Amino acid sequence: MDIKKLSKKKNEGVTSLPSEERRKFLKMGFAVTGVFLGGSVLSLTSVQEAQGQRADVVPTEGQYPFEKHYAMVIRQDRCVDCERCLVACRETNHVPNHHDTWRTTIQEKLTISKEGFKEAIFRPVLCNQCNRPPCVRVCPTRATYKDKKTGIVMMDYKKCIGCKTCMSACPYNARYFNHDRYAVDKCNFCYDTRISKGETETACSAACPAQVRIFGDLLDKSGKVYGYLHTPDKTIWVLRPETGALPNVFYTNF
Amino acid sequence: MSIQSELANILTASADPRMATPGKNKALFIFLAIVVIGLGFGVSAFVVGHHNAYNNTREMPWGILIATYAFWAITSTGLCIYAAMSHVLGGTRMGIVSNRMVWMSIMTIMGAFATIGVEIASPHRMLLYNVLSPNPTSNIWWMGTLYGLAVGCMLVEFFGIITGLARLAIIIGVFGALAEVGANSCLGGVFATLAGRPYWYGGQLPIYFLTSAFLSGAAAAVFFNHMAYKLRGEEMSEAVRRAVKSAGKAMTLVLILYMVATFWRLLSYYVGGTDLGRTAAGALIHGPLAVNFWVVEVGVGMLIPLILIILARGENIPTMSFAGVLILIGQFVARYDLVVAGQLVPHNIGWDNVPTYFSYIPSFSEFAVVAGSIGVVGMGFLLGERFFGKVFDQKEHH
């Protein structure tokens, strides 16, 4: 296109524009919009259909996109911080023993009870195996991915370039850099170490003496997880719901 | 004639012997030493472990090296855009110095690549799996791929410039500039799409980064052109003066836009949203990054340059060049503050007795790598002037 020649052309005006030209222009507009829309759809993760229901935290029944939908209910007020879960996790999953390398931990907060006593609240945390996992979306090499069969967010260590974007993206601080593997590591509900071998509980869940961590398949209607999440008069919450990650670790007090 | 002798002829024609004096050679070797020592500390991270070399933690996985990468990458985008605009549209007065801007765009992105190359834990896996296992939803993937593409285009463009293949240079240059804009936008997107980090999250950041690119690019254009003539001890021709003043005008305009964007960006955290975002903004306003923000970002990077530009009335090139350097310093610290503030507030604030702000001070190795990246750009500048100086020094009929 020669801009100099173009500038010498006569202005045709908009009123004399044939409708075919207008249609062409509209079509082009739609095509451009389509490309952008396509891009924005791409930028969402593959399991966007798994929306929330009760208070936007429990997945809508019948809309689980996985063959098995593993989830965990944490009965927070039963936790006494005995840390057996943490020990079991380290041993089972060979998590290096440094202060900032963990797949699961227990957070603590001091409050004052209504009787005026100091009371400690303990909150176990781990990877939330989100339905819309920010870590999976940002990974440049698909080293971390949402497993289609189980809904678990897994790691393919050999593909991890160590850019640590997933660590920045995770709203739950659930990821750490494993110096032994020289890759990012995280909880995978003990899939490789226990669940794929026929065990029905994760190491942390099996080790808990107070049955704080209830692990199971949300698709199993006779299972405990389904029962807890579908008891209408019980309050269920998730951590940081505002991030829209749709976690599969649920919290309750009973 | 063989290819070698042809290339030798081209290089002889483009080389500038005025830049090969003993003093300039010394400067070149000093920069080279900074590169070798600085990046040497970065390379040593692969031996001693990145976690031992750098002060990044689980909670603060990104630090000054990500900020340095962003700073150089953003500057590169700016330089590339101005050069492409001048080449293609031909209407801007910057056309006469655009070849130098293309070269410096390549050199600044090299500074960025050098930094990220020693920051990433396993770059060899990146080279392999970026190709074998790409993730189209990942901003990092797009950013890396587009910056890679941009460098490829700019190298071809530069080859076209020195060999006189103008058409090739212009066409490929446009592709390079588009790739740079896309890459810059994706760099903004890396931060802007993380809902878990409210200080970064939101639609403003990618356009903020593009504004920064226009600001840093113009500042770098004024500075490097001024330096090129100062080192030769030569007066700028009237056309070059006009070009540099034109870059100075762009710098002034974008500085004002950038100040407006910064004001609204920070104000927005105080009128709603989550506490995490507000507390992070507080790190700049009255927290651990307050000196960085008020003294360096606002004072050195915005107000003093603005005063200098007014005093220089946009005419005095050395003063404008000094304002440009101050803007670049402000921009570097702004990238640092942005990267750090986004991670400074613990996710689990209110639990575990965590402090309101983590403490992050870059390690010696991190500072060394930053110096190394400056060395790359400084060395690149001198090498460019020495070997392609005559190509940069275009005549008025451009």
Mutation pick from B48, B120, B138 vs chain A, by most beta carbons of A within 10 Å, is B138
**CB spacing of B122 vs A138 below 8 angstroms:** no
Q: What is the pLDDT of residues A99-132, one digit of tens each?
A: 899 999 999 999 998 889 999 999 999 999 999 9
Mutation pick from A86, A157, A164, A184 vs chain B, by most beta carbons of B within 10 Å, is A164
**CB spacing of B137 vs A45 below 8 angstroms:** yes
The residue of chain B with its CA nearest to that of A161 is B122
Domain boundaries, chain A: 54-252
Confidence grade of residue A15 (pLDDT, cut at 50, 70, 90): low
- Residue A38: its pLDDT value, please? 56
Contact A45, A137 (CB under 8 A): yes
Q: Look-up: residue for tokens 């949402």?
A: A146
Contact A74, A252 (CB under 8 A): yes
**pLDDT < 70: residue spans in chain B:** 1, 90-92, 394-398
Mutation pick from B46, B56, B58 vs chain A, by most beta carbons of A within 10 Å, is B58
**Residue A84 CB-half CA count within 13 A:** 14
**CB spacing of A140 vs B126 below 8 angstroms:** yes
DSSP bridge pairs for A216 = A71
Find chain B residues with C-beta within 8 A of A245's C-beta: 195-196
DSSP bridge pairs for A108 = A122
- Tell me what ipTM this predicted complex has: 0.93
- Residue B397: its pLDDT value, please? 47
**CB spacing of B125 vs A159 below 8 angstroms:** yes
- Residue B71: its pLDDT value, please? 98
Contacts of B93 (CB under 8 A, 6+ apart): B239, B242, B243, B245, B246
- pLDDT winner (highest mean) among A33-47, A224-238, B57-71: B57-71
Q: The tokens of A95 are what?
A: 């998590």
Which residues in B229-254 are b (16+ Cβ under 10 Å) and which e?
Answer: bebbeeebeebbbbbbbbbbbbbbeb
Residue B382 backbone dihedrals phi, psi, to 5 degrees: -65, -40
- Residue A37: its pLDDT value, please? 59
**CB spacing of B194 vs A179 below 8 angstroms:** no
The residue of chain B with its CA nearest to that of A98 is B58
Confidence grade of residue A65 (pLDDT, cut at 50, 70, 90): confident
Closest Cβ–Cβ partner in B89, B140, B197 for A140: B140
Confidence grade of residue A48 (pLDDT, cut at 50, 70, 90): very low
**CB spacing of B62 vs A43 below 8 angstroms:** no
Find chain B residues with C-beta within 8 A of A244's C-beta: 195
Closest Cβ–Cβ partner in A45, A140, A159 for B144: A140
Distance from CA of B219 to the nearest CA of A (A): 29
Mutation pick from A48, A135, A141 vs chain B, by most beta carbons of B within 10 Å, is A141
Distance from CA of B334 to the nearest CA of A (A): 19
Find chain A residues with C-beta within 8 A of B353's C-beta: 108
Chains A and B: how many Cβ contacts under 8 Å?
136
**CB spacing of A140 vs B130 below 8 angstroms:** yes
CATH for the A54-252 domain, from 3.30.70.20, 3.40.630.10, 3.30.565.10, 3.40.50.300 = 3.30.70.20
Please give the mean pLDDT across all residues of chain A.
Answer: 87
Distance from CA of A123 to the nearest CA of B (A): 9
CA–CA dist B173, B98 (Å, integer): 11
Residue B164 backbone dihedrals phi, psi, to 5 degrees: 80, 10
Residues of B with CB under 8 A from a CB of A: 49-51, 56-59, 61-62, 89, 120-123, 125-126, 129-130, 133-141, 144, 190, 193-197, 274, 342-343, 347-348, 350-353
Closest Cβ–Cβ partner in A140, A172, A240 for B138: A140
Using the 8-state DSSP alphabet, how is residue B293 labeled?
I
The residue of chain B with its CA nearest to that of A240 is B196
**CB spacing of A160 vs B137 below 8 angstroms:** no
Closest Cβ–Cβ partner in A125, A138, A159 for B129: A159
In 3-state terms chain A splits into helix, strand, coil percentages (rounded to 5) of: 30, 20, 50
Contact B363, B102 (CB under 8 A): no
For B184, other C-beta atoms within 10 Å of its C-beta total 27
**CB spacing of A138 vs B194 below 8 angstroms:** yes
Distance from CA of A76 to the nearest CA of B (A): 14
Confidence grade of residue A32 (pLDDT, cut at 50, 70, 90): low
Chain center to CA of A152: 9
Distance from CA of A101 to the nearest CA of B (A): 8
Find chain B residues with C-beta within 8 A of A162's C-beta: 50, 120-122, 125
Residue length, chain B?
Answer: 398
DSSP bridge pairs for A102 = none
- Residue A44: its pLDDT value, please? 45
CA–CA–CA angle B65, B67, B73 (5° rounding): 100
Mutation pick from B167, B347, B353, B360 vs chain A, by most beta carbons of A within 10 Å, is B347
Find chain B residues with C-beta within 8 A of A141's C-beta: 125-126, 129-130, 133-135, 141
- Residue A46: its pLDDT value, please? 43
Q: Look-up: residue for tokens 């804009």?
A: B181
Mutation pick from A163, A178, A240, A242 vs chain B, by most beta carbons of B within 10 Å, is A163
CATH 2.40.50.140 fits B61-375, yes or no: no
- Residue A19: its pLDDT value, please? 72
**CB spacing of A142 vs B58 below 8 angstroms:** no
Distance from CA of B342 to the nearest CA of A (A): 9
Residue B371 host element (H or E): helix B364-392
DSSP bridge pairs for A177 = A184
Q: The tokens of A203 are what?
A: 């190491």
Find chain B residues with C-beta within 8 A of A44's C-beta: 137
